[in-house]
Structure 1
Amino acid sequence: MAIILFDDNAHQTLLPLTYTRPVADLRIGILTIAEKWTKYLNKDHSFHTLDYLQAKFPVKIEEDNLFINGAVCPDEGLLEAIDKLQMGQALKYNDQLLAVRLNQTDAGNFDTQANFSTVVNYPGLFVSLFYPEDIFRNNDAELRKDFALITKGRTSATISTTNTIIGSDFFAEEGAVAECSTFNTTNGPIYLAGNTEIWEGTHIRGAFAICEHSQVKMGAKIYGATTIGPYSRVGGEINNAVIWGYSSKGHEGYLGNSVLGEWCNIGADSNNSNLKNNYSNVRLWDYSTQCFRNTGLQFCGLIMADHAKCGINTMFNTGTVVGVSANVFGSGFPRHFVPDFAWGGAQGFEVYAINKMFETAEKVFDRRDHRVFGETEQNLLLKIFELTEEYRRF
């Protein structure tokens, strides 16, 4: 059976985070949504997504195909309901398609709006992503689920006795290194993946996870629920943030109630606000409606898409959205919505020339385990540059 993770209209409402990936490739908790389904089902997966993304995330169709909504995080109740699906049957929660089992012919014509022969209504609750802020809002719950999934029946590796561990929900993979740091698990579990480093003087409160080949620098203060993705380096003060991977926030400064994509860089002493001075609800730019949307949240910080960067001492207002490959610098507060491939700051923006962006990306990729910024990645970004042109009318 092929497991195919499909995109529905959440792909639009989760922009700009999903310009560069299918929804199921979003990281929440310790794992991406796709990795969660792979572990729960013990099967590999592919993606059914927009045409321009399929070159990087191809779909694989077989005789028997189980399509699962990529915005939905798995749990035992969903697994039980999906496992009972017969050929042609669909599982729905109200109008949201959760899963459908299709033969090879029907799979080739898959459409989320199709009328399926038999519909089973799912009565339970589950975690599903629809807006960018849903990622940090649900990160605590998903961290706990992923921690239980990954560590079940296993024993943590031993770390240095120079550390202080409070509570019992601590797990380190072989190769994780920490010295002279405190880990408080009384409010949530703490997970250190292999080949990670926690430098001296760091204080971490759970729930927290750091993924492979990442580092926390000396004296960092990290509060739950926070995830540091693979090949990243962080420092300063971080609270309830999800950093997907290959990104750096290596210096002092505050990051809170935020999501950072891959290949991002936060300059030294940069900060984001996560609470308005009048304590009112935070509004975020919504690509699907092209206007600002009331999140209903009092705490909401920075949403930064892949390849975006900011210079030293950047100040981000409460509820700022920074698009793909934007480059922000200079004094003052930049606008609440920084378009994709924008170059500038509070004094104004211009277009970040695509050839200049490619030159930087090649260098950044090489710094991370000598990865190659290849044709597939370039073509994807060229397409996003075209798709987002309307926002760059400076």
Structure 2
Amino acid sequence: MNYILFDGPSRNNLLPFTFTRPVADIRVGILTIREKWETYLATTTTTVTEDYLSEKYPMVEMEENIMINASCLPNIELVELITNLKENQAIFKDEELLAFFAKEAQEDINFDDFDIIDCPHDILKIEHTWDIFSKNGEAIKDDFSLLSKDRTSQAIPASNNVVAPENIFIEKGAKLEFTTLNASNGPIYIGKNAEIMEGTMVRGPLALCEKGVIKLGSKIYGPTTIGPHSKIGGEVSNTVIFGYSSKGHDGYLGDSVLGEWCNLGADTNNSNLKNNYAEVRLWDYQTQGFAKTGLQFCGLIMGDHSKCGINTMFNTGTVVGVSANIFGSGFPRNFIPSFSWGGSAGFSTYLTKKAFEVAPLVMERRNVKFTEQDKAILEHVFEETKSFRRN
């Protein structure tokens, strides 16, 4: 069977991360959503997404296809329902479409003609940006069970101080000495060729993905995910970092999500709690206003390729778009549009010409090429987000 992940109605609620990727390629837990589905299904998947993303993330359609809502994270029960789907069958839960069987070139689908299967199982869904960190603990535990099943961890070096070693899994090539690892509150996963430097204290759940680095003397509170090739220092709590991003120095980052190719300057800090303890509101791209999150703790949401200088201070519930550059003293406003350049004193437009000089240099340091597809995506985002910039 051919499986295709579609963005679904949550796509716009997951901006700015879905400016540059399909919903399926959001990381939550240890794996991206796509990687979770491909592990469960034991096959590759493709994507239905925005037209401007389709060259980099194409759809492959066959004679028979099962379409899956990418906002839904897989579990054994849901995967069983989906793999047993037949023609003209669809799975719904609480009136939301989870998956359906589609024939090739079946453009007009009327679900009134389908046999509707109600999903009776609990489903973990990523429908808002803040779901990425607020549901990350459960996602780490699910992925840990998936990846460690019937496998044996590498031995934990004797120099480490360890609580609940049975909840720790170390992949080949990982390095860690003279650290404190407490997995009593949730599992700790240390990916292939990752490193935790001396003096670091970790309380799980933690996902440190392939070639990720936690620097000397860091303090990491779970649930936290540090994506592939990311370098992290200082104090981090309840945060998801997609990959290829750096917070290499002291400073606090909590209840936050960073995309790829982000960099936080030394002593950058974010607030995750308002002084009056009120509910946090976050910028909503659809309504172009601030939406209720239902959360008391919510920090920084930062899209791909965005960066900030040393000593940057972010207000509670700050949303930063794609390829923004923030610097200077004081608190910048809590919505910073894509391709903005500046800080609390004001912003100008960060022109794509300048951004395209920086991006290849940043990516080359991780041996990744800045492609024409990447350039075209960022050019589209620049044009799409013009209305949010004041200049």
Query: What interval of TM-score do these two structures reach, taking the shorter chain for normalisation?
Result: over 0.9
AA in 2 matched with 1:296? G
- Report the CA distance between 1:103 and its aligned residue: 1.4
> Residue 260 of structure 2 corresponds to which residue in structure 1?
262
Query: Which runs of 5 or more residues in structure 2 are unaligned?
Result: none
- Report the CA distance between 1:114 and its aligned residue: 5.7
- Report the CA distance between 1:185 and its aligned residue: 0.4
Output the CA distance in 2 between the equivalents of 1:33 and 1:64.
Answer: 22
SS at match of 2:342: strand
- Report the CA distance between 1:305 and its aligned residue: 0.4
Output the CA distance in 1 between the equivalents of 2:264 and 2:113.
Answer: 47
Contact 1:181 1:199 in 2 (8 A): yes
> Residue 57 of structure 1 corresponds to which residue in structure 2?
57
SS at match of 1:312: coil
> Residue 134 of structure 2 corresponds to which residue in structure 1?
137
Output the CA distance in 2 between the equivalents of 1:48 and 1:118.
Answer: 23
Output the CA distance in 1 between the equivalents of 2:299 and 2:264.
Answer: 14
Matched, 1:82 2:79: no
> Residue 73 of structure 2 corresponds to which residue in structure 1?
73
Matched, 1:151 2:148: yes
> Residue 358 of structure 2 corresponds to which residue in structure 1?
360
Query: Which runs of 5 or more residues in structure 1 are unaligned?
Result: none
After the TM superposition, list the runs of 4 or more consecutive aligned residues in structure 1 that deviate by more than 4 angstroms.
113-116
Matched, 1:34 2:34: yes
> Residue 291 of structure 1 corresponds to which residue in structure 2?
289
Output the CA distance in 1 between the equivalents of 2:108 and 2:387.
Answer: 30
Aligned 1:252-331 pairs, distance under 5 A: 252-331=250-329
Output the CA distance in 1 between the equivalents of 2:345 and 2:112.
Answer: 52
Number of matched residues? Answer: 390
Output the CA distance in 2 between the equivalents of 1:165 and 1:146.
Answer: 21
Matched, 1:187 2:218: no
> Residue 228 of structure 1 corresponds to which residue in structure 2?
226
> Residue 122 of structure 1 corresponds to which residue in structure 2?
119
Output the CA distance in 1 between the equivalents of 2:192 and 2:118.
Answer: 41
AA in 2 matched with 1:377? D
Output the CA distance in 2 between the equivalents of 1:158 and 1:390.
Answer: 54
Output the CA distance in 1 between the equivalents of 2:343 and 2:267.
Answer: 16
How high is the TM-score relative to the length of structure 1? 0.97
- Report the CA distance between 1:110 and its aligned residue: 6.6
AA in 2 matched with 1:302? L
RMSD across aligned C-alpha pairs, in angstroms? 1.1
> Residue 8 of structure 1 corresponds to which residue in structure 2?
8
Contact 1:159 1:176 in 2 (8 A): no
- Report the CA distance between 1:141 and its aligned residue: 0.2
> Residue 163 of structure 2 corresponds to which residue in structure 1?
166
> Residue 375 of structure 2 corresponds to which residue in structure 1?
378
> Residue 248 of structure 1 corresponds to which residue in structure 2?
246
Output the CA distance in 1 between the equivalents of 2:389 and 2:111.
Answer: 36
Contact 1:319 1:336 in 2 (8 A): yes
AA in 1 matched with 2:285? Y
Output the CA distance in 2 between the equivalents of 1:371 and 1:25.
Answer: 17
Match of 2:385 among 366, 388, 393: 388
SS at match of 1:230: coil
AA in 2 matched with 1:14? L
Output the CA distance in 2 between the equivalents of 1:258 and 1:116.
Answer: 43
Rate the CA distance shift 1:116–1:44 in 2: closer, same or farther, 3 A.
farther
- Percent identical among aligned pairs is 52
AA in 2 matched with 1:330? G
